[in-house]
Amino acid sequence: MKLTFRWYGPGDPVSPAYIRQIPRMTGIVSSLRNCAPGEVWLRENVRTLRETIEAAGLRFSVVESINIHENIKLGLPDRDALIARYAQSVEAVAAEGVPVICYNFMPVFDWLRTDLEIPQPDGSTALGFDQKDMEAIDFSEGTQDLPGWHAAYTGEEVTALRAGYAELSEEDLWHNLAYFLERIVPVAERAGVRLAIHPDDPPWSVAGFPRIITSGAALKRVTQLVDSEANGVTLCTGSLGANPAEAARLPETIRSLAGRIHFVHARNVTHLGDRSFQESVHPDGDVDMAAVMEALLEIGFDGPARPDHGRMIWGEEGLAGYGLYDRALGAAYMAGLWDATVRQAA
Ligand code: CS2
Ligand code: MN
């Protein structure tokens, strides 16, 4: 396992110089934040980002994410042109030597929480999600009441997007994902880079939009859509683990995906009720992190892994889920647990 850390690029309050000071840290996970979905990533911009990362003594290990344009997910007529542009971005990333590209296939929204600052008994704050709170959000005026997405969409835009997705069944969405992968996986293969789909977070339909990458079985199905090592997954313990049944079968999921896990997100969650959870510290919660590490070692996982979201601790202010301190604690815990797992297996 190679320890990595997400950095949002210049402007992120956490600096690569600080990230480098975390024990065992080898690489950065980043992206061209200003590129909208559908825009081609220019090689020179990827190079500048890589050089900034390397100047801090770290490697540009993973691109997370190249976001997929909505019209590809919807299967609209301009998708071929959009996929061709996506291919150019994949080639630019590969040409700069970044070995893994994380992406997701979530309609409209990326990861969602209903509360970004839940006070914890120890004085820290954590992120959480409750389906009841989500269902109470009125989208008629847009996303203004959706934490983290205030200015994302107007009411009319949400209505139009919902109408577009209302015409798609889950199988149609699978079909559109297959259409995309059939065209992009060969490009990734030729360019020498590996794709790693991130499971949907939370792993169920939200805000009136369908979600399909919601289980270990769904990740497996993705790998079967195009049979190539370049067609892999991001194993996110927190996203899958938001569903108690999936949390319990994480080791089994990992074994079933041997050879296709190209990136790992370690995060713990505590279930609070039906489709309701809080993010918890890396060691404690409903994800058995030691069992996750054991299964990863068993399948010979040797790729990049990062602590996923963290709490806000020690008075830090920053991007929700992406402060330095608690993620650094998570990274140190991952390193220790991995060492112990390797030693025990030897
Ligand atoms: C996070 C996301 O939700 C999560 O678990 O890791 O930031 C995720 O990385 C992106 O949605 C992947 O595209
Ligand atoms: Mn994740």
In this prediction, residue 213 has a pLDDT band, given cuts at 50, 70 and 90, of very high
pLDDT tens by residue, 129-149: 999 999 999 999 999 999 999
pLDDT at residue 152, rounded to an integer: 93
Q: Check if 102 is active-site.
A: no
Closest by CA position to 197, among listed 225, 159, 172, 168: 225
Q: Give the CATH number for residue 239.
A: 3.20.20.150
pLDDT at residue 316, rounded to an integer: 97
pLDDT at residue 279, rounded to an integer: 98
The residue contributing the CA closest to ligand 1 atom 3 is 111
- Which token pair is 69? 């344009």
In this prediction, residue 234 has a pLDDT band, given cuts at 50, 70 and 90, of very high
Closest by CA position to 281, among listed 338, 316, 321, 330: 330
pTM (2 d.p.): 0.97
pLDDT at residue 340, rounded to an integer: 98
DSSP H helices in 33-154: 43-55, 70-74, 79-95, 131-135
Mutate to test the pocket of ligand 1, among 12, 35, 201 (most ligand atoms within 8 A of CB): 201
Ligand 1 site, residue 282, Cβ cutoff 6 A: no
Ligand 1 site, residue 31, Cβ cutoff 6 A: no
Ligand 1 site, residue 30, Cβ cutoff 6 A: no
**By percentage, how much of the chain surpasses pLDDT 90?**
99
How many A from CA of 346 to the centre of ligand 1?
33
Look up the domain containing 34 and give its range. Answer: 2-345
How many A from CA of 298 to the centre of ligand 2?
22
Can you tell me the distance from the alpha carbon of 307 to that of 236, in angstroms, rounded to the nearest whole number? 10
Atom of ligand 1 lying closest to residue 198 CA: 12
pLDDT tens by residue, 261-282: 999 999 999 999 999 999 999 9
pLDDT at residue 225, rounded to an integer: 98
pLDDT tens by residue, 74-113: 999 999 999 999 999 999 999 999 999 999 999 999 999 9
Ligand 1 site, residue 268, Cβ cutoff 6 A: no
Atom of ligand 1 lying closest to residue 103 CA: 13
Residues 6+ apart with CB under 8 A from 317: 13, 323
Q: Does residue 63 contact residue 30 with C-beta atoms inside 8 Å?
A: yes
In this prediction, residue 308 has a pLDDT band, given cuts at 50, 70 and 90, of very high
Can you tell me the distance from the alpha carbon of 45 to that of 90, in angstroms, rounded to the nearest whole number? 13
Closest by CA position to 134, among listed 230, 277, 263, 344: 277
- Number of domains the chain is built from: 1
* Residues 139-167, mean pLDDT to the nearest whole number: 94
Mutate to test the pocket of ligand 1, among 61, 62, 111 (most ligand atoms within 8 A of CB): 111
pLDDT tens by residue, 64-84: 999 999 999 999 999 999 999
Atom of ligand 1 lying closest to residue 308 CA: 6
pLDDT tens by residue, 39-62: 999 999 999 999 999 999 999 999
Task: Return the SS3 of 236.
Answer: strand
